[in-house]
Amino acid sequence: MSPSLSPPARRDRPRAYVAGPAAAKTGWGRAREWAATQTGRLGWASIGILLPEPVAPDQSRHLRLASIRGATVGFAGDPGGLHRWVGALIVDRPTVASLMAAEAIPTATSIVVVDPDIEVLTPWVDAFDPTPLGATVLSPAEVVLPVPEVRRVMVYFTHRLQRRAAPSPRLWQMLLRRLEHLYHHGGHFSAESLLALTWQLQWPPDAVGQLHRWATAHLPSDGPRP
């Protein structure tokens, strides 16, 4: 099955993150301050909060206070009022799925991620080089997925995506077969690096998600970055 197409992730919007130990202690405060500099408004009503899954407000002091003060809260599988959110978006303790959900909201004017788990952030940092807001600074890859043959295939397919309303099942299967062939013949890459490249090439969210699901099922995961 080939993906339908929706608007790609915007590369022009500001992005930032709080990672590592600081995320658990001061992440929300730093994220809110940064969001305020982007929107020019201090109130929580101008901020959206995206969570990986539904959480009762009383399970998180930060979430409870933000909700009381007017923040709009949504979840990766059900963005609710964030579906066409216009304003800053805080993504709290994301999974890969909730990062993809955040990038799929084309109207969000800025995105700031709060996450103690550095590994989850790696492909997002590689793709967008966001601003670090704490002591933990993640260095983006100098070249995302530095396998020339794979990059050529992905760039070619990107041009085909841009020319079609949706890729045909035949074209989509051709891409998957080619990637699998390259992987098994020395062009090793991971689901994470492929995800970063699709973001960097501004693939539509539906195509990003479908290729990531395929890659997760067929390719090994990256280990921790030194």
Domain ranges of the chain: 15-132, 148-218
Say yes or no to pLDDT of 1 above 60: no
DSSP conformation class of 55: -
**Average pLDDT in the chain:** 87
Give the pTM. 0.88
Q: Are 106 and 79 contacting, i.e. CB atoms less than 8 angstroms apart?
A: no
Q: Are 115 and 52 contacting, i.e. CB atoms less than 8 angstroms apart?
A: no
The pLDDT score that the predictor gives to residue 129 is 96
**Distance in angstroms (rounded) separating the CA atoms of residues 80 and 145:** 34
The pLDDT score that the predictor gives to residue 211 is 95
Determine which of 61-65, 120-124, 131-135, 136-140 has the lowest per-residue pLDDT on average: 61-65
Report, as an integer, the average pLDDT of 173-193.
Answer: 90
The pLDDT score that the predictor gives to residue 165 is 59
The pLDDT score that the predictor gives to residue 116 is 86
Say yes or no to pLDDT of 212 above 90: yes
The pLDDT score that the predictor gives to residue 221 is 64
The pLDDT score that the predictor gives to residue 12 is 83
pLDDT tens sequence across 43-85? 888 899 999 988 766 667 778 888 888 899 999 988 889 988 9
Q: At what angle do helices 205-218 and 96-103 cross, to 10 degrees?
A: 160
Say yes or no to pLDDT of 42 above 50: yes
The pLDDT score that the predictor gives to residue 7 is 57
Selection from 101, 195, 201 nearest residue 155 by Cα: 201
Q: Which CATH architecture does the domain made up of 15-132 adopt?
A: 3-Layer(aba) Sandwich (3.40)
Confidence at 226, pLDDT banded by 50, 70, 90: very low
**Distance in angstroms (rounded) separating the CA atoms of residues 194 and 213:** 11
